[in-house]
Amino acid sequence: MRPETIIPIESLTPRQIVAELDKYIVGQTKAKRAVAIALRNRYRRQQLPPELRDEILPKNILMIGPTGVGKTEIARRLAMLVRAPFIKVEATKFTEVGYVGRDVDSMVRDLTNIAVRMVEQEKIQEVRPKAQRRAYERLATLLLDKTERPKRGRRREITPLEMLFQILHQDDDEEDEAPAIEEETPDEKADRRTRRRHILEQLKSGARDKETIEIEVEENLTPFVQVFSPQGIEEMGLDTDLLPPFGPRSRSKRVVTIAEAIDIYTQQEARKMIDRSAVISEAIQRVEQTGIIFIDEIDKIAGSGRTVGPDVSREGVQRDLLPIIEGSTVTTKFGPVRTDHILFIAAGAFHTSKPSDLIPELQGRLPIRVELEPLGAEDFRRILTEPKNALTKQYQQLMATEGVQLEFTDDAIDEIARIASEVNARTENIGARRLHTVMERLMEDLSFEAPEHAGERIVIDRAYVQAKLADIVKDTDLSRYIL
């Protein structure tokens, strides 16, 4: 989900950043303040002279807290706030037994791919009005040719010399040209322009959106080459726009509606209008200056050093991560990317280990440590009502599509929060994610029967919640499976 508006980073003070995060995330003020300062420091660094700018490195953050308290959401919303390239990786995937293929550098390559797509979409949106006009023109010509093809069949005799000239200049890549056709009269040309203008008006008004048409669609055949990496062999895609000889394009015919054809042609025309090399250059710049990499479950690769076996590979993963977090150059299919100023946010529950179990060098690269608080019943109550994307609001909107007016009373929300907190305490504490399981169980019958209640107003109160959930909550064994 994207924010409603993209706010320039220069206009965001740390206090405003926290206020924006408060719209989606309840509590965790310390973590919000830490990421707000880190984001603002990026803007401050850009205002410094070049010789000093490169000397100031980002202050990477280590978030400590149980699952479901908002660690990932804080980092993700921060990136969405300023449209910064963002990727989340699980540190444990680099410790899997028999794991070969992509090394830890892959997180930077994936982040670069995300940035390229992000910038490309932004450029496409900029030229979309002009591209759409071209798409209308292109489709109008196609429709006009299809309707006139039977009428424009009056062929004149061509001389042998003209036939030889056509054979010598025939283009194999294009469709065979139609035989010579008699010249149009001025009246026919004027009539053709009138019909074309009428078709354009129909297309723009949407009058022909549901009609079907056969069009030719270009598809890139992206080749892959195998690259040797420290962990094994990795496939790397070639950028077909930069390497035309290696990027064959396949053309296939599809039957689509006029509305779909307009979208396809608009995308094709927009891609022709944007400068691919400029897109890649800007994407790499964004990755290097504003990219955010969120490394989750970092506590799972923290070893105490007193055991052998898997801990050896865990320490190896830490040492592989170290040069990337410290600052190095990673080769991607779009060019080299420096990681010196990428912001790294690591997170972990640290139930069975502690931050000091990480190797000292990695600890030094994560200087800011923030502890997130576990969530209780009052936090759950706020989560159910305050955020812009609160669960209760989501279900109300979902039911509205079926014509059902859904309302939650205050005592119902209190009961839902209490049950979620109680189940977390008695079974496994999964934080705010417990609300999803509780709400889905609560709404199961209504979601199933919603089409039969169209036009009705349904109120969910404390009694309704207790009737649906009380028995499950009382039975601990059952709640482990259901909630």
Digitized pLDDT (tens) for each residue of the chain, 483 residues in all = 344 455 666 678 889 889 888 888 888 888 999 989 988 888 888 888 888 888 888 889 999 888 888 888 888 888 888 888 999 988 887 776 544 445 788 889 999 999 999 999 889 888 888 988 888 888 888 888 777 654 544 445 556 666 666 666 665 444 444 444 456 677 767 777 788 888 888 788 878 778 888 787 776 544 444 444 443 444 454 444 444 433 445 677 778 888 888 888 888 888 888 888 999 999 999 999 889 999 988 888 886 555 555 444 778 888 888 889 988 899 998 999 999 999 999 988 888 888 888 888 888 888 888 888 888 888 889 889 888 888 899 999 999 999 999 999 999 999 999 988 888 888 878 888 888 888 988 988 888 988 888 888 999 999 988 888 877 776 666 566 665
Phi, psi of 306, rounded to the nearest 5 degrees: -100, -5
Cα–Cα dist 151/178, whole Å? 13
The C-alpha angle 285, 43, 6, rounded to 5 degrees, equals 75
Q: Give 73's contacts (C-beta < 8 A, 6+ positions apart).
A: 24, 25
Q: Check: CB of residue 296 under 8 Å from CB of residue 90.
A: yes
Q: Check: CB of residue 267 under 8 Å from CB of residue 124.
A: yes
- 237 forms bridges with which residues in the sheet? 224
Question: DSSP letters along 269-303, please?
Answer: HHHHHS-HHHHHHHHHHHHHHH-EEEEE-GGGG--
Question: Which structural domains are found in the chain, ordered by start?
Answer: 9-116+282-371 (3.40.50.300), 130-274 (no CATH), 377-474 (1.10.8.60)
Query: What pTM was estimated for this model as a whole?
Result: 0.74
Helices (H) and strands (E) in the chain, counts: 17, 13
Helices assigned H by DSSP within 149-235 = 160-168, 186-205
Cα–Cα dist 39/383, whole Å? 25
For residue 393 the two structure tokens come to 């609001």
Of the candidates 87, 82, 68, the one whose C-alpha atom is nearest the C-alpha of residue 26 is 68
Cα–Cα dist 422/435, whole Å? 11
